[in-house]
A and B are shown apart, each in its own frame.
Chain A
Amino acid sequence: MTKLYSFHGGVHPPSNKSQSTRTPIALAALPGKLVIPFHQHVGNIAKPLVKKGDRVLKGQLIGAPEDAVSSAIHASTSGTIAEIGMQIVAHASGLPDLCVTLIPDGKDEWINHQGMDYRSADESDIRLALRMAGVVGLGGAVFPSDLKLRVGKRKIKTLILNGAECEPYISCDDMLMRERAEEIVRGAEVIRHVLDAEQVLIGIEDNKPQAIAAMQRAASTSHDKMEVITIPTIYPGGGAKQLIRVLTGIEVAAGVRSTEKGVQCFNVATAQSVYRAVQFGEPLLSRIVTVAGNVTHPQNFEALIGTPLNELLALAGVLPDTDHYIMGGPMMGVVLPGATVSVVKSTNCVIAASDNLFPPPPAAMPCIRCTRCADVCPAELQPQDLYWFAKAKEFGKAQEYNLFDCIECGACSYVCPSHIPLVQYYRFAKSEIWARESEKNAADSARERFEFRSHRIEREKQERAEKLAVKEKAALAAKQPVVADMTQAAAPAADTNRITPDPIQEKIQAAIDRAKLQAVMVNPRNTVQLTAQQQAEIAEIEARRARIREHAQSEVEHHPKE
Chain B
Amino acid sequence: MLSALLVMAAIAIVLGALLGFAAIKFRVEGNPLVDKIDAILPQTQCGQCSYPGCKPYATAIAAGEADINRCPPGGEEGIQKLADLLGVEFKPFGNETAAPKPKSVAIIDENTCIGCTLCIQACPVDAISGAAKQMHTIIAQECTGCELCIAPCPVDCISMIVIEEKITNWKWKYPTFPLVPA
Contacts and interface: CB of A to CB of B under 8 A. Distances in A.
Interface of A: 39, 45, 89, 91-93, 95-97, 363-364, 421, 424-425, 427-428, 430-432, 434-435, 439, 442-447, 449-454
A427 B144 contact: no
Given A91-B167, A442-B43, A450-B53, 19 more contacts: A93-B170, A95-B165, A95-B166, A96-B167, A363-B180, A428-B171, A428-B174, A428-B175, A431-B172, A435-B171, A443-B43, A446-B44, A447-B43, A447-B55, A449-B125, A449-B127, A450-B43, A451-B55, A453-B126
Contact of A435 (B125, B126, B169): B169
Interface in B160-181: 165-175, 177, 180
Nearest to A96: B167
A437 to B, nearest CB: 12
A431, A447, A451: most-surrounded residue (chain B CB, <10 A): A447
Contacts of A447: 38, 43, 54-55
B172 A446 contact: no
B43, B55, B126, B127 — which one has the most chain A CB atoms within 10 A of its CB? B43
Given A91-B167, A443-B43, A450 B125 contact: yes
Contact of A449 (B54, B142, B169, B174): B142
B150 to A, nearest CB: 18
9 contacts: A45-B168, A91-B170, A93-B167, A95-B166, A95-B167, A430-B172, A431-B171, A443-B42, A445-B142
A95 B173 CA distance: 14
A440 to B, nearest CB: 9
Contacts of B167: 39, 89, 91, 93, 95-97
B171 A421 contact: no
A95 B170 CA distance: 9
- The 7 residue pairs across chains A and B that have the minimum distance between CB atoms: A443-B43, A446-B43, A427-B172, A431-B171, A93-B170, A449-B125, A424-B175
A446 B175 contact: no
Nearest to A91: B167
A450 B165 contact: no
Interface string B106-135: 000000000000000000111100000000
Interface residues of B, number: 28
Contacts of A428: 171-175
A425 B175 contact: yes
B95 to A, nearest CB: 27
Contacts of A450: 43, 45, 53-54, 124-125
Contacts of A364: 177
Contacts of B53: 450, 454
Nearest to A95: B167
Contacts of B177: 363-364
Contacts of A427: 172
A443 B125 CA distance: 11
Interface of B: 38, 41-45, 53-55, 124-127, 142, 144, 165-175, 177, 180
B41 to A, nearest CB: 8
Contacts of A424: 172, 175
Nearest to B73: A443
Nearest to B182: A363
B151 to A, nearest CB: 18
Contact of B124 (A95, A430, A431, A453): A453
A451 B53 CA distance: 10
B45 A446 contact: yes
Contacts of A431: 170-172
A452 to B, nearest CB: 8
B180 A446 contact: no
Contact of B126 (A92, A363, A444, A449): A449
Contacts of B43: 442-444, 446-447, 450
Contacts of B172: 92, 424, 427-428, 430-431
Given A95-B165, A95-B166, A363-B180, A446 B171 contact: no
Contacts of B44: 446
Which of the listed residues B126, B127, B165 has the most CB atoms from chain A within 10 Å of its own CB? B126
A43 to B, nearest CB: 11
A252 B171 CA distance: 28
A442 B45 CA distance: 13
A72 B165 CA distance: 25
Nearest to A420: B175
Name, among A45, A431, A446, the residue most crowded by chain B CB atoms within 10 Å (CB to CB): A446
A444 B44 CA distance: 10
B126 to A, nearest CB: 5
A451 B127 CA distance: 13
Given A446-B45, A449-B142, A421 B180 contact: no
A446 B166 contact: no
B6 to A, nearest CB: 54
A432 B125 contact: no
Contacts of B165: 93, 95
Nearest to A446: B43
Contacts of A432: 171
Contacts of A89: 167
B173 A446 contact: no
Contacts of A95: 165-167, 170
B179 to A, nearest CB: 9
A439 B55 CA distance: 18
A394 B20 CA distance: 43
A81 B69 CA distance: 54
Nearest to A86: B166
Nearest to A361: B177
Contacts of B168: 45
A457 to B, nearest CB: 10
